[in-house]
Structure 1
Amino acid sequence: MKLKKLIFIMLLLVAFISCKKTTEAKQSDVEIALSYSEEELYRPNFHFTPKKAWMNDPNGMFFYNGYYHLYFQYHPESNVWGPMHWGHAISTDMITWTELPIAIYPDELGTIFSGSAVVDISNSSGFGEVSNAIPIVAMYTSSKQLEGTDNWKQTQSIAYSNDEGRTFTKYENNPAIDNNEIKDFRDPKVTWDEEREKWVMVLAAGDRIMFYDSKDLKKWNLLSDFGQGIGGHGGVWECPDLFKLPVLGTEESKWVLFVSINPGGPNGGSATQYFIGDFDGTTFTMDKDFETALNKEHNYWIDFGRDNYAGVSWSNATRRDGSKLMLGWMSNWDYAQVVPTETWRSAMTIARKVQLQKNNNGYRLLINPVEELTNYRSTKYKKENIVIKEDTKIIDSGAIDLASAEIQFNIPNLKETIYTFKLSNKLGDELLFGYDNIKKKFFINRKNSGKTSFSEKFANKISTASRTSTNKNLSGTIILDKTSIELFFDNGETVMTEIFFPNSPLDKLSIEPKDQEFILGKIEINKLNFN
């Protein structure tokens, strides 16, 4: 009897342990599944993200031998900012990307902050002599924290590649530009000044931009500075860029200067402003009409949304029409390190084409998605002259997957009302965006778009941008990719980019007027296929 009782107790114990293990396994499986599901819910279909870990600013972008190269600020050991490396990815069309091994690692001079890379076709640097290769020369900021302090020593260093940017060798005489005085002294962007046949570099230095030149990419001469008391100064200046653009429809050309700023953006946190003027090889001078307009109202930003920062152009990639190509980091320092992804953090914007126009409003950049994106169009929905009454459904994901789509629309004969587009799901999440023709402002409202509580700054306000066009019709292009929206209004005259984190995919698009019906002249929706 005692033996039977003992066996019974043992059987119960085995059953309990087995049940407990099974329960633990199921709980673990659920946790893994939820984690995986969330990661895949939020990872974009076609915007570049690293496979794992933290990413911020785009760096060293150049085009050579059929490939667009993208380097980026990368912390491979964590999903938050830390010791910076240069991550690396390549693409043949700036849309689909292949991630490659880390290109540049920290060294005794410090971690590897932002910078640029150029194709030294004439081998002016001499770095290509040994292998008879055309060298790729990268210039970046070495940043080292001074022991026992919160201060950093920031200097400019050089590395070169003779295998088309796959691997780099550090220059033996680094730093190429030393610094013991300026606290924020970083982000060199090098460009070739064809008219004067020399290399020119712009460098962020606290509250201004410094200009340097060089004949060999090794020895640099300080020329001038620009920016003190000019434009936005709500935070430190960073990640400059300088390039020349033709003015559309004219024989004229102007120089464009990008300056990123954090904080101080038009809707809070980080953003990138621009200046139009002339560069004589030594000094950048703003165009007088542009300066007058800037002083009246500073609305010269490459993107008014909260999620496009540190954008710079590709070297060696000017289009036949003279336009430049650029890319930005699709996040904001206000909340980038706490967004609800764990395996990876941050994405890049869609690649964009930059042009310059002049009209009654003076000089203004036009920024639009690169044409290569149209090669991925598949299923199309097109409709004209839709009467919009109250909340009018346009389409849902049963017809076209709105998690990967390009939308073009036109609204003729604007009325004094608010035109609201709404992306929503059955859980009640909704992203609102559109145009308020009473206040003459575009807007994005992500207050009810899903997960927002991870940061009090993420959805604390509605982002807006003043319309500069006087056209009585409104046109726009919308790029949707799971958790991001990129809006290009009035042929790219006003751009807004923002990210969001719905609890399930936003799968319905509707439009509503505030107080009166209107005609949606045309809407065309293309599914973007990346399988």
Structure 2
Amino acid sequence: MHPARSFFLSLGAALAVSTAACSAPTGSQPAQAGEGTSQWRPALHYTPQRNWMNDPNGLVYYQGVYHLFYQYNPHGNYWGDMSWGHATSRDLIHWSEQPVAMPVTDREEIFSGSIVLDEHNTSGLGSAGKPPLVALYTSVFKEGSGHEAGMQAQSVAYSTDGGESWRKYEKNPVLTLNPESRNFRDPKVSWYAPGGYWLMATVVSDAHVVKFYRSKNLIDWEFLSDFGPAGVARPGVLWEMPDLFPLPLDGNARDPRWVLIVNINPWSIAGGSGAEYFVGRFDGKTFTPENLAPPDSDPSRYLWLDHGADYYAAGTFANEPHGKAVTIGWMSNWDYADRVPTTPWKGAMALPRQLALKTIDGVPQLTFAPADQYAALVDKGPTTRVGTFAVSSGSKELVPAARGTVQNIDLTLEPRSARRAGLVVRGSADGAAGTRIVYDTARHTLTLDRSHAGIGNFSPAFSKEHIVNLPLDNGRLRLRIVVDRGSVEVFAADGRAVITDLVFPASTDDRISAFAEQGEASFHDVAVTNLR
């Protein structure tokens, strides 16, 4: 959870719109007339009907329903009055916004945290017949709370009705530092089966430290160890939203590694905020990373969940029904999140992703794919199969049936003799506007270029190009491109890298073109699915 910033509050005073949370369906619903900037309201990605949102919180699956809680301002379209918003889904694609789960009070703001299903009622907050959902969240105290204003500590809330209503534990907070800290936050809790206890990862954000604790009952916590500083740990950088979980390496359940996600701001791979991760081993007390880059390395030496500008605060769903690591992140960037030109809402979630751990270039690394539920949506079509074609030192617009503003694009790019080759999505009729996805054969890089993708002058920090080093596989590069009304996500090379960026095109910019520069490129198995 990002700390308060004065410019958010000053901007909020000018933009404040006093509104209540809405329980109408959202995320996949068509925009309604009079909804402000409806041309950019996501169709595939969750966003509230109105007001500010940021970090996902309390990601949990329970009785057939995925629950997404998130940082939310119930009072306006700006950062402030942090509360937990709430949305539910049965398929991770179609979301229904619910009433605010835990609103700000006169004693505390509700910063980021997590939720677990306490199946055996270890906390005593439910019963054998009604196991509770237990939330660990960060209290940010106000005057009159019994704590110095601005201090942060970890607190408990619980629900015995499936997440519809929440009660706060009467003896909150359950975990504080001594002395208390203004930067102790973001508890992520999971069950550590080998030890038979609950495991918490939390951060002291300005010290670049992840702190691990254990508990038998989710209330009494014992310190285990610290991790850090490591990775991006420069002056002025904050560490936030940690998440520690195991994954089988190369599909071998007998050879697991542990992944530690640490969301950092600023100084990410694309500038501003981003999601770094470490791979290593955890012995029940200490996380030991492997293959660490030297201190103060270039950002490209570190491991990232996403190489675009707009993926932050990523975390995994608890109690996932198939035992998979499914993550979701906030699709924005603290560099300019307060200035994006959307109204009456600001903020959206990226597409849910499934993580796997594979040995790549001799090193265990994450791979990323849209969640299975998204793939099922694409399979339902309708799909325009363009097939295979070549472009030589020029561009080729795809057939009119391939036009759209919400779509999935699958293809294999073979740059061949071209210096650069790729696609333009959300392109204008005159070819002047569009988001360019470019492979550079000399540099072996994939770039998402949004310099002509629409409105971009709302902030000087709205960076234009985001790049990842990516070798070809037998001269080819497989791409899955997810296009929404206000975003583009590029999954490349069977998930070796993802680039996620916000874009703000004209509603009429709906064309796709293939291009090649200084040579010929081939485009294989091109399929475009318009998603409704």
TM-score using structure 2 length: 0.87
Per the alignment, residue 5 of structure 1 pairs with none
1:375 positional shift: 3.0
Aligned to 1:238: 240
- Separation in 2, partners of 1:153, 1:468: 47
Q: Give yes or no for contact 1:246–1:253 (8 Å, CA) kept in 2.
A: yes
Counterpart in the other structure of 2:8: none
- 2:43 maps to 45
2:124 is aligned with 1:121: no
Gap runs ≥5 in structure 1 = 1-32
In the TM superposition, what are the counterparts of 1:201-216 in structure 2 within 5 Å?
201-206=200-205, 207-216=208-217
Alignment correspondent of 1:399: 401
1:310 pairs with 2:300: no
Counterparts in 2 of 1:173-212, with a 5 A limit?
173-179=171-177, 180-206=179-205, 207-212=208-213
Task: Give the 5 Å matches for 1:347-362.
Answer: 347-362=348-363
Structure 1 residue corresponding to 2:490, chosen from 487, 490, 500: 487
Q: Do the aligned residues in 2 keep the contact of 1:246 with 1:323 (CA within 8 Å)?
A: no
| Separation (CA, whole Å) in 1 of partners of 2:471 and 2:279 | 16
Distance of 1:46 and 1:132 partners within structure 2: 37
Give the SS at the match of 1:163.
Answer: coil
Separation (CA, whole Å) in 1 of partners of 2:474 and 2:139: 48
SS across alignment from 1:389 = strand
What do residues 146-195 of structure 1 show as CA deviations (whole Å, max 9, x unaligned)? Answer: 69x99720111000000011110000010011234433111100011111
- What amino acid maps onto 1:442 in structure 2? L
Equivalent position amino acid for 1:353 in 2: Q
Deviation at 1:395, TM superposition (A): 2.4
* 1:318–1:324 CA contact under 8 A, matched in 2: no
1:82 corresponding residue in structure 2? 80
Aligned residue among 435, 448, 451 for 2:452: 448
Q: Which structure: larger Rg?
A: 1
Partner of 1:438: 442
User: SS at 2:174's partner residue?
Assistant: coil
1:514 is paired with a residue of what secondary structure?
strand
Q: Aligned pair in 2 of structure 1 residues 416, 369: CA closer, same or farther (>3 Å)?
A: same
Amino acid at match of 1:208: V
1:226 correspondence with 2:223: no
Q: How does 1:292-331 map to 2 (within 5 A)?
A: 298-317=301-320, 319=322, 322-331=323-332
Structure 1 pair 242–109 and aligned structure 2 pair: CA distance change class (3 A): farther
Q: 1:482 is matched by which residue type in structure 2?
A: R
Q: Residue type of the partner of 1:308?
A: Y
The letter for the 2-side match of 1:304 is H
Post-superposition Cα deviations, 1:169-223, rounded to whole Å, max 9, x if no partner, equal 0000100112344331111000111111111010011211000110100001111
Q: Residues 327-350 of structure 1, C-alpha deviation per residue, up to 9 Å, x if partnerless?
A: 000000111111111211111011
Contact 1:425 1:504 in 2 (8 A): no
- Do 2:416 and 2:522's aligned partners in 1 also have CA atoms closer than 8 Å? no
Aligned mate of 1:69, from 64, 67, 74: 67
Structure 2 partner of 1:336: 337
Is the CA contact (8 Å cut-off) linking 1:391 and 1:510 kept in structure 2?
no
User: Matched residues in 2 for 1:37 and 1:220: separation?
Assistant: 46
Q: 5+ unaligned residues in a row in structure 2: which ranges?
A: 1-30
Shift of 1:248: 2.0
The residue matched to 2:519 in structure 1 has which SS?
A: coil
SS in 2 for 1:453: coil
In structure 2, the partner of 1:417 is 419
Runs ≥4 in structure 1, deviation > 4 angstroms? 290-297, 413-416, 468-471
2:359 is aligned with what amino acid? K
How far off is 1:231 after superposition? 3.8
Q: Aligned pairs, how many?
A: 490
Cα deviation code 1:427-483 (max 9, x no counterpart):
632211222121111111111211111111114x42111226665321011001111
| In the alignment, structure 1 residue 504 sits paired with structure 2 residue 520 | no
**Higher mean C-alpha displacement, 245-254 vs 97-106:** 245-254
Q: C-alpha displacement at 1:249, in angstroms?
A: 3.8
Secondary structure of the equivalent of 2:410?
A: strand
- Report the secondary structure of 1:36's partner residue: coil
Q: CA separation in 1, counterparts of 2:56 and 2:307? A: 19
Q: 1:38 to 1:433 in 2, by over 3 A?
A: farther
Q: How large is the RMSD of aligned CA atoms in angstroms? A: 2.4
Q: Is the 8 A contact 2:106 2:142 kept in 1?
A: no
| Counterpart-to-counterpart distance in 2, 1:185 and 1:521 | 50
1:270 aligns to what?
273
Task: Work out whether residues 241 and 257 of structure 1, in 8 Å CA contact, stay in contact via their aligned partners in 2.
Answer: yes
Distance 2:472 2:466 in 1: 19
Q: d(CA) in 2 for partners of 1:395 and 1:469? A: 24
Question: Helix, strand or coil for the counterpart of 2:373?
Answer: helix
Percentage of pairs with the same residue: 35
- Point out the more displaced range, 248-257 or 225-234: 225-234
Mapped partners of 1:59, 1:248: distance in 2:
29
